[in-house]
Amino acid sequence: MPSGPRARPGRRPIAGARERGQASAELVAIVPLVVVAVLAVAQLAVAGHALWSAGNAARAGARALHVGGDARAAARASLPASLRSEARIDASGPVEVRVRAPALLPGVPSLPLHAGAALNPAAGDG
């Protein structure tokens, strides 16, 4: 006569009773991997946004420099507020903008990124 939690007198045990809880164990193993993957993709998106913003700011600074304006002010004004405070802008040659992409996890360092732009009227940029 079968014994165990699912055994009933005169009946066979239910098929798969030994695999009970298998899905829970697999879920516990896979959830951390999914969370890490989602955070990695989100961090790449944040870094991409920061790099794109730095490039836009460098181009705005180069345009301002080309027409005799303040390249640093134009570049800083075109940056999002979250990147503006720690941005480093060099307008001594081609305008270069350095920003740090914020990290999504505490304790992880932010990513340093930079972009540069210059206008060359002879090449048709101006």
Q: Tell me: pLDDT of 72 over 60.
A: yes
* Total number of domains in the chain: 1
17 lies in some domain: no
pLDDT at 13: 59
Residue 119 pLDDT grade (very low, low, confident, very high; cuts 50, 70, 90): confident
Q: Tell me: pLDDT of 80 over 70.
A: yes
Based on C-alpha coordinates, what's the Rg of the chain?
A: 29
Burial pattern 46-65, b for ≥16 Cβ within 10 A else e, equals bbeebbebbbbbbbbbbbbb
Q: Is the pTM for the entire model greater than 0.85? A: no
79 lies in some domain: yes
Region 26-45: what's the mean pLDDT? 90
| Residue 60 to residues 51, 76, 107, 122, Cα–Cα distance (Å) | 14, 9, 33, 19
20 lies in some domain: no
7 lies in some domain: no
91 lies in some domain: yes
Per-residue pLDDT reduced to its tens digit, 83-113: 999 999 999 989 999 999 999 887 889 999 9
Region 115-122: what's the mean pLDDT? 82
61 lies in some domain: yes
Which residues form the domain of 41?
31-120
| ∠ Cα 99 100 103 (to 5°) | 155
99 lies in some domain: yes
Region 60-82: what's the mean pLDDT? 95
pLDDT at 87: 95
Residue 26 pLDDT grade (very low, low, confident, very high; cuts 50, 70, 90): confident
pLDDT at 126: 55
| ∠ Cα 23 26 28 (to 5°) | 110
5 lies in some domain: no
